[in-house]
Amino acid sequence: MSVSAELPCLTFVANGIAGLRPYEPGMPIDELRRQMGVDDVVKLASNENPSGPSPRVIDAVRSYINESSLALYPDGGGFRLKRKLAEFHDIEPERITLGNGSNDILEFVSRVFLAPGRIAMFSAYAFAVYPIVTQAQGARALVIEARSAHDSMTLGHDLAAFSRALDEHEGVSVVFIANPNNPTGTWVQASDLEAFIDRVPAQTIVVLDEAYYEYQDPALRVDSRRLMEQFPNLVVTRTFSKAYGLAGLRVGYSLSSPVVADLFNRVRQPFNMNSIALFAADVALEDQDHVRRSVALNASEKTRLRNQLVQLGIRLLPSQTNFLTAGFGRDCSALHRALLERGIIVRPMGSYGLPEYLRITVGTVRQNDRFLEALTAVLDA
């Protein structure tokens, strides 16, 4: 769409921006309270950790605010957190780039490697941020058809199709792979992914988005850290927004070759991480017990939720994440709306091209009970 006819000041809007559709976040709790006048709102829409952050993080942030000056700029290099992460992953700090959420990193990737004439490749039904950062750079998106509804990994990434597309197209500078993937919950086999990365031309950057890494069964995980050392074109992203329960503070990071990290640092805002977030992530990393407890709660509640939903005749995609993507076999707008009226926020999948699906974050026992109760009532009505 051309916007320049409307206002002269829009004449020089950059390539790709005019037609860009903004990311649609899950509805905030307060907004639903206002809209529907319901008090007891359960939000299962954005894959946040229902247990919140580690209590140690909350204590540490409190004392940090009391003892440190918020008037001072944060450490722009994130020295301490990078050193901590380097130890945690047993790699050089030069391989780490800190982001204001891992979304920030996805933007670094696009600003460094995407431009008009370049192609970014990703699966249908992959993370909504990939098409946004691609289009914002005026690059072309090559969307690879997902695996079929009859495949055991329904709507998952089809790496064989990725490989074929790479053979057919020149100028693919970035391949985005979310593993496990959002919004489907699906994953790729570690051996398939390794074979795929090995086949990707050395000049093409592969972004392996591991936002749900902690939730994945260790037996299914890709040894991304090792692969990253082996392949200089591999960028692995991780986040504190999910299992660490710090989505509100915005902390993510990437592991990559030092030369790629150096490029990211050139486009990174000097103070992209705030001081509280830097400090909180440092403490969060130390409390791996909290991560384990969060993952265990997710596993048991996901199983319970899955069993109950299946009993209601609802089709679920396979999931190695902290959410379930549920197919209802019909447009879910009315269902979504009816749940909102009962104070339940889940994520409609229409903007992902899956109008017959809802994505439900696995909550606490109480939140899941509330959701199941509301869903049963709505389906009976």
Task: Please give the residue ranges that form the binding site for ligand PLP (CB under 6 A).
Answer: 47, 101-103, 127, 178, 182, 209, 211, 239, 241-242, 247, 252
Residue nearer to ligand PLP on the CB measure, 208 or 372: 208
Q: What are phi and psi of 347, to 5 degrees?
A: -105, 120
Question: What is the maximum alpha-carbon separation in the chain?
Answer: 59
| The token pair that represents 330 in the structure block | 């019909």
Please state the closest distance from residue 1 (CB atom) to ligand PLP, in A: 28
Residue nearer to ligand PLP on the CB measure, 182 or 224: 182
Kindly give the interhelix angle for 258-267 and 102-113, rounded to the nearest 10 degrees.
90
Residue nearer to ligand PLP on the CB measure, 135 or 241: 241
Please state the closest distance from residue 376 (CB atom) to ligand PLP, in A: 28
Residues linked to residue 27 through DSSP beta bridges, in sequence order: none
Residue nearer to ligand PLP on the CB measure, 298 or 372: 298
Instruction: Give the integer Cα–Cα distance in Å for 91 and 97.
Output: 12
Please state the closest distance from residue 238 (CB atom) to ligand PLP, in A: 8
Residue nearer to ligand PLP on the CB measure, 131 or 252: 252
DSSP string, 341-361: HTTEE-EE-GGGT-TTEEEEE
Residue nearer to ligand PLP on the CB measure, 133 or 372: 133
Please state the closest distance from residue 37 (CB atom) to ligand PLP, in A: 30
Residue nearer to ligand PLP on the CB measure, 236 or 372: 236
Please state the closest distance from residue 102 (CB atom) to ligand PLP, in A: 3
Please state the closest distance from residue 131 (CB atom) to ligand PLP, in A: 13
Residue nearer to ligand PLP on the CB measure, 246 or 372: 246
b/e per residue, 271-284, with b = 16+ CB within 10 A?
Answer: ebbbbbbbbbbbbb
Residue nearer to ligand PLP on the CB measure, 197 or 236: 236
Residue 39, judged by CB atoms within 10 A of its CB (0-12, 13-18, 19+), counts as exposed
Please state the closest distance from residue 252 (CB atom) to ligand PLP, in A: 4
Please state the closest distance from residue 360 (CB atom) to ligand PLP, in A: 14
Please state the closest distance from residue 271 (CB atom) to ligand PLP, in A: 17
Is the CB of residue 358 less than 8 Å from the CB of residue 347? yes
| Cα angle: 361, vertex 224, 347; to 5 degrees | 15
Could you tell me how far CA 73 lies from the centroid of its own chain?
28
Please state the closest distance from residue 178 (CB atom) to ligand PLP, in A: 4
DSSP, collapsed to helix, strand or coil, labels residue 366 as helix
Residue nearer to ligand PLP on the CB measure, 206 or 372: 206
Count of CB atoms within 10 A of residue 24's CB? 12
Instruction: Give the integer Cα–Cα distance in Å for 69 and 58.
Output: 18
Distances (CA, A) of 144 to 55, 121, 162: 42, 7, 6
Residue nearest to ligand PLP (CB): 101
Provide the pairing of β-strand 315-316 with 119-123. unpaired
Closest to 56 measured CA to CA, from 293, 363, 280: 280
